[in-house]
A and B are shown apart, each in its own frame.
Chain A
């Protein structure tokens, strides 16, 4: 792999940047692979990379129906954090966060993981109890976190509306300093380049149209480029997991919903951290370009349309101005939607399926981007060994039979 560095940039500058090689090859599919990964988003590409790097399995193809990173990887608001309540989630997201911390060096591609911290605001007493419980759990799980009071929030975000007459006053927040944001496209491209360098074939514009099975075991996939055989198939898709499961003859506890985001026009730096609020229901950060990157929860109804409902956006913008009145005169530049597959417990499904040799890594809901490296790492282990790693063992499809849910939104439910 031609190395990326300030020195290589300078060297290539001398030749007018005419000698850079493609970051990844435009591979043509072979007839069979040891492992096929369906889905060329961040998770799929990370899986391929760790399969090759950690497990030495390089006879791998990543099949992407469009262009890599073209789904939720390139549409999300790029928040990375690991301050989840339950041990199972904490382990998964913290594994991921640790990988984020060294990712740029590991794959020699700057993914710009900016550890500027994430605030999760509390607006009533129960929010603050939940925050304290979660941060305490985080700390005992070896994850950084603090509980801030109103003044602590104000210190980090001076213009946040902490006046007592705010409809939902800011009582405090959880604060995870190691959390932050990253450059979404770079994650897909960086993993693709690193995986390609280890021999993985990345095949774009190749849609999977069927899952081939013999005697209850997967033997390959049908694609728009023809049939491709495989010993193991890992499905890592968002927005279309149910369609793939249907091809393989089973059902998933997933529903696809639009998730919307928007950006403002670029501004000089003024927001140095990520601020999220569940009760007032909006989150915001400022990208390095200066745009405010704003999002909230999913649209209520099922949809595959890559666009959401205007009223959802009105609601989260209202929440934005409620919390940050000085943003009122700023302007929305662009808004868009992605499709997220939500599960009943707001946790992903990573592991075996009723079909031997077919593994799924789906259902990340709204939180998939942050988990990209960890998800790829555990799924590579699962595909390589045929068994889940201890980190993804709790995220089996079977948990919906046994009742062992990893209920991350349950813990945030507000009632009294």
Chain B
């Protein structure tokens, strides 16, 4: 660790940590960031830039770092694009540069830097255009050259969680101002949460020599943290980044749990925070200055150099030049000087101030009214070129250039929630306008850099928040600080220094001052256009280092003030947020609930193949050994038609409707008549949306005088329930009706086939099953196999059928009772596929498969069902000219001429056997099967004016199966008279 100072810093020298960078074994200490550890090992060059592949070093100390973006780890736990300045060093850490082939020091793609003149802002808009269709070829070269980190190669093994936090006051930023505000609130008894980006509270004080009553100021702050941590109404969230501020004081924050507790079972926790008052103390970030070759490794912000020396005991260079336009960087000069570096200060300001005098007294050379106009060096800065006021130039050898162009308050969290900004001339940057209700910015974020003023302001903001919440504040006052470092006082804005060579504004995307100039020259005048054309601020640092600098350059070039030019939108996230944290545990089985019927285990044991229908798992078919789906389905269909089949129908939506106005509700939502339905009778109903299109269908039974049970499609249950509730509550509150969703309360077993009555009898029932007592489309209650049951004589297969509905708790029992008789009756369990085949033979629709939201009852040939006697939802829409057209798609059967040719579902209907090019479509196929009982394949679908085209020959076309010749038929193919379901 050749750059590590022998003493000082907040590192634990007793805890050495081994790590690797590009394979090289290195050592750091606990308390280091990856960046400080690299610098401690004398490593500045860490990466190559994305566009020009220029050598780049660590420039910053926190979220503003644009260069030191490294790949950490390998395999499934790899991390891409990690900012070394924010990565806490861990033992065994493996870091790699993102670019640099064959090596970081010798990068072949650095040729782009040589060709940089051909690659100004927006060059790609002007070339790579031809020949037509070649862009993808160019992309093959461009894409690998751009981009950054690599994706892990497996699913994330780590865990994340989400938590809600409601707290009257939240303070963001655990620097001196934030801690002060929290302390005032806490002592007043106000429940308060303090979130801080780093694992250690203190912010700038961690690198400060300021004192309170002769002791380090940080000691006072640490005592405050101890006090706060002992208060129950205070929540301290270290290592927690508040990344976004949204409407109504809603904050998104991510706590990096493993940063504090490396062995925690949780990597990160996403906090959804709501508060009434928000105090923002997010600090400020130092900016650079655009001069030629200001991007060489060894060029850093002055505050970063200061922090590496004071906090991490790392001396980033022994021969340093400090270039500044304000007083703050003098602190860096003193730190360097104290640490033994040779220091020369280059101050762009015309007058020599107090700080310059102090520096000279300390023995440092100060060049007043001088600018750094260029730098030299290949992989690290070796010298800088100074230009004095008289234009005289001189070269100073150095291995470190610390730059300060001023400070930008981190206004992001204020700005996310649409808070306004105002230009502060003294700072030459934006500060929050304090125009958000219940939100205050304090400290450096509010442009207050004097520590005593910042703490006083923090106290006042906290007192205002406490008072607003009705708490009396105590006499807590800010301590008196003896500041050791000057703030960014006396600043004279300096954005750009003339010189030969690229002057970078945004390092990550290699955006130069000349690119901004070009954008303006080419008419991209709005600041948004400048940004987008030059890609300024589009890096992963989101312009924290370069945006205000770019704005300053624009304002100079267009001759307006920065305030007139205006800033661009600050969009969340403040720093990048792990997707996994925002997702928590909500993937896999927890992505969406899975619904199982009470008989599910039986289906599994029987080897059923399942399909997803809505959230439900439904048995699709039950293959026997050696059977494919077609064989199993054919067997299930024939066994049902010849004997008895059993279907688990529990997923069918069930809505219990009760009340004096129940029948009125049915009349209003269904197309058909319900007034005359007798108690104990069932009726098929159709529901439309207000646009006249089919919404759902199903059989509704009248259980009592004011009591109905509506069944819906499996996937439509929740939607229909919500639909009925909406109409009842918003439009018809006068109707006295109560709705209860009963889908999960019941299990329904459907018995179908000629032997179903015999099976019912054998199961043991007190219900009279005779046709006279229990006709088709009626309902009886009683017991079946000893279980209280409601039995409906309905049929979706076209066979004699009974639907037995019992309490869900008895579903499995009843199912087992049925299958005790399996061999006696050759009972066959059938799945949804056989059900679909059998209903298709009968021409019944399945809402959602055969209808798609664009099908009206008229299209389905159900005009006769639409009652002329009354209005219902959607009925008026049926009268519109378009819906009355007789050439609309109409519900038909489609019978292939070849009996074994099964049309693909989703095939289109055309009128030619040899389609070539664009071919008019006459309809489409919604359902298609080989129908075992019919002995031929058969499909259902829609054909324009189809009801008038029965007998016509058309063709089904599918891109994979090709053309199948067919005849348009009636949709009903099996037992057209309905004798089997009505059987005596």
> Hey, which chain B residues are within 8 Å of A289, CB to CB?
146-147, 538
Q: Are B532 and A74 in contact (CB under 8 A)?
A: yes
The reply on A300 being an interface residue by CB < 8 A is no
> Hey, which chain A residues are within 8 Å of B247, CB to CB?
305, 307
Q: Are B583 and A321 in contact (CB under 8 A)?
A: yes
Q: Are A5 and B126 in contact (CB under 8 A)?
A: yes
Please give the distance in Å from B122's CB to the nearest CB on chain A.
9
Most buried by B among A23, A113, A131, A403: A403
> Hey, which chain B residues are within 8 Å of A115, CB to CB?
133, 135-136
Please give the distance in Å from B811's CB to the nearest CB on chain A.
20
The reply on B846 being an interface residue by CB < 8 A is yes
Please give the distance in Å from A179's CB to the nearest CB on chain B.
12
> Hey, which chain B residues are within 8 Å of A151, CB to CB?
none
Of A49-57, A104-112, A231-239, A348-356, the segment with at least 4 beta carbons within 8 Å of chain B is A104-112
The reply on A31 being an interface residue by CB < 8 A is no
Given A17-B514, A22-B522, A142-B918 in contact, is the A333-B849 Cβ separation under 8 Å?
no
Most buried by B among A23, A159, A329, A402: A329
The reply on A270 being an interface residue by CB < 8 A is yes
Please give the distance in Å from B57's CB to the nearest CB on chain A.
20
The reply on B449 being an interface residue by CB < 8 A is no
The reply on A328 being an interface residue by CB < 8 A is yes
Q: Are A317 and B582 in contact (CB under 8 A)?
A: yes
Contact of A403 among B149, B542, B691 (CB under 8 A): B691
The reply on A330 being an interface residue by CB < 8 A is yes
Q: Are A326 and B154 in contact (CB under 8 A)?
A: yes
Considering only CB atoms, which chain B residue lies closest to A124 in the complex? B612
Q: Are B146 and A407 in contact (CB under 8 A)?
A: no
Of A76-84, A184-192, A213-221, A364-372, the segment with at least 4 beta carbons within 8 Å of chain B is A184-192
The reply on B763 being an interface residue by CB < 8 A is no
> Hey, which chain B residues are within 8 Å of A145, CB to CB?
959
1/0 per residue, CB under 8 A from B, across A18-49: the answer is: 10111111100000000000000000000000
Please give the distance in Å from B962's CB to the nearest CB on chain A.
11
CA distance A32 to B155 in the complex (A): 62
Q: Are A402 and B881 in contact (CB under 8 A)?
A: yes
CA distance A91 to B133 in the complex (A): 21
Considering only CB atoms, which chain A residue lies closest to B906 in the complex? A132
Q: Are B918 and A140 in contact (CB under 8 A)?
A: yes
Q: Are B135 and A104 in contact (CB under 8 A)?
A: yes
Given A6-B127, A23-B523 in contact, is the A332-B577 Cβ separation under 8 Å?
yes
Contact of A105 among B129, B580, B882, B907 (CB under 8 A): B129
The reply on B144 being an interface residue by CB < 8 A is yes
Most buried by A among B151, B526, B716: B151
The reply on A267 being an interface residue by CB < 8 A is yes
The reply on B472 being an interface residue by CB < 8 A is no
Please give the distance in Å from A404's CB to the nearest CB on chain B.
4
The reply on B588 being an interface residue by CB < 8 A is yes
Q: Are A344 and B691 in contact (CB under 8 A)?
A: yes
1/0 per residue, CB under 8 A from B, across A388-416: the answer is: 00000000000101111101011101111
> Hey, which chain B residues are within 8 Å of A280, CB to CB?
591
Q: Are A267 and B526 in contact (CB under 8 A)?
A: no
The reply on A381 being an interface residue by CB < 8 A is no
A-B pair count, CB < 8 Å, reads: 348
Considering only CB atoms, which chain B residue lies closest to A182 in the complex? B135
CA distance A214 to B120 in the complex (A): 51
The reply on B163 being an interface residue by CB < 8 A is no
Of B78-86, B356-364, B773-781, the segment with at least 4 beta carbons within 8 Å of chain A is B78-86
User: Which residues 902-950 of B have a CB within 8 angstroms of A?
Assistant: 904-908, 910, 915, 917-921, 924-926
Of B317-325, B568-576, B735-743, B968-976, the segment with at least 4 beta carbons within 8 Å of chain A is B568-576
Considering only CB atoms, which chain A residue lies closest to B270 in the complex? A314
1/0 per residue, CB under 8 A from A, across B302-322: the answer is: 000000000000000000000
Considering only CB atoms, which chain B residue lies closest to A410 in the complex? B853
Given A22-B521, A67-B529, A87-B921 in contact, is the A331-B81 Cβ separation under 8 Å?
yes
> Hey, which chain B residues are within 8 Å of A307, CB to CB?
246-247
Please give the distance in Å from B131's CB to the nearest CB on chain A.
8
Considering only CB atoms, which chain A residue lies closest to B130 in the complex? A105
Q: Are B156 and A329 in contact (CB under 8 A)?
A: yes
CA distance A7 to B533 in the complex (A): 20
Q: Are B533 and A185 in contact (CB under 8 A)?
A: yes
CA distance A6 to B128 in the complex (A): 8
Q: Are A140 and B957 in contact (CB under 8 A)?
A: yes
Contact of A167 among B246, B588, B906 (CB under 8 A): B588
Q: Are A165 and B588 in contact (CB under 8 A)?
A: yes
> Hey, which chain A residues are within 8 Å of B847, CB to CB?
415-416
CA distance A166 to B588 in the complex (A): 6
Contact of A265 among B80, B133, B526, B849 (CB under 8 A): B80
Contact of B129 among A5, A24, A25, A185 (CB under 8 A): A5
Most buried by A among B525, B613, B906: B906
> Hey, which chain B residues are within 8 Å of A113, CB to CB?
135
Q: Are A334 and B542 in contact (CB under 8 A)?
A: yes
Contact of B81 among A26, A132, A266, A409 (CB under 8 A): A266
Considering only CB atoms, which chain A residue lies closest to B526 in the complex? A67
The reply on A325 being an interface residue by CB < 8 A is yes
The reply on B592 being an interface residue by CB < 8 A is yes
CA distance A67 to B587 in the complex (A): 41
Q: Are A415 and B126 in contact (CB under 8 A)?
A: no
Please give the distance in Å from B912's CB to the nearest CB on chain A.
10
Contact of A125 among B160, B526, B611, B925 (CB under 8 A): B611
The reply on A304 being an interface residue by CB < 8 A is no
Considering only CB atoms, which chain A residue lies closest to B268 in the complex? A329
> Hey, which chain B residues are within 8 Å of A407, CB to CB?
853-854
Q: Are A405 and B80 in contact (CB under 8 A)?
A: no
> Hey, which chain A residues are within 8 Å of B907, CB to CB?
132-133, 136
> Hey, which chain B residues are within 8 Å of A332, CB to CB?
573, 576-579, 582
The reply on A224 being an interface residue by CB < 8 A is no
1/0 per residue, CB under 8 A from A, across B103-140: the answer is: 00000000000000110100111111110110110010
> Hey, which chain B residues are within 8 Å of A305, CB to CB?
247
> Hey, which chain A residues are within 8 Å of B120, CB to CB?
9, 13, 17
Q: Are B853 and A409 in contact (CB under 8 A)?
A: yes
Given A137-B908, A267-B80, A329-B580 in contact, is the A126-B877 Cβ separation under 8 Å?
no
CA distance A75 to B919 in the complex (A): 37
Q: Are B881 and A403 in contact (CB under 8 A)?
A: yes
Q: Are B613 and A124 in contact (CB under 8 A)?
A: yes
Given A124-B612, A267-B80, A414-B715 in contact, is the A4-B523 Cβ separation under 8 Å?
no
Considering only CB atoms, which chain A residue lies closest to B124 in the complex? A110
Contact of B958 among A132, A146, A317, A410 (CB under 8 A): A132
The reply on B852 being an interface residue by CB < 8 A is yes
Given A140-B957, A168-B592, A268-B148 in contact, is the A415-B848 Cβ separation under 8 Å?
yes
> Hey, which chain A residues are within 8 Å of B542, CB to CB?
333-334
Please give the distance in Å from B566's CB to the nearest CB on chain A.
11
1/0 per residue, CB under 8 A from A, across B149-186: the answer is: 11111111010100000000000000000000000000
27 residue pairs bridging A and B, Cβ less than 8 Å apart: A23-B523, A70-B528, A115-B135, A125-B611, A129-B926, A136-B907, A136-B957, A140-B921, A166-B588, A183-B125, A204-B526, A264-B576, A265-B149, A266-B147, A267-B81, A268-B149, A270-B150, A288-B139, A317-B583, A318-B582, A322-B588, A331-B579, A334-B572, A401-B880, A410-B853, A414-B715, A415-B713
Chain B positions within 8 Å of A, measured between CB atoms, are 50, 76-81, 117-118, 120, 123-130, 132-133, 135-136, 139, 142-144, 146-156, 158, 160, 244, 246-247, 250, 252, 272, 514, 518, 521-526, 528-529, 532-533, 538, 540, 542, 569, 571-573, 576-580, 582-583, 586-589, 591-592, 594, 611-614, 691-693, 696, 713-716, 719, 846-849, 852-854, 877, 880-883, 904-908, 910, 915, 917-921, 924-926, 957-960
Chain A positions within 8 Å of B, measured between CB atoms, are 4-6, 8-10, 13, 16-18, 20-26, 66-67, 70, 74, 87, 101-102, 104-105, 108-110, 112-116, 123-126, 128-137, 139-142, 145-147, 159, 165-168, 183, 185-186, 189-190, 204, 264-270, 280, 288-290, 305, 307, 310, 313-314, 317-322, 325-336, 344, 399, 401-405, 407, 409-411, 413-416
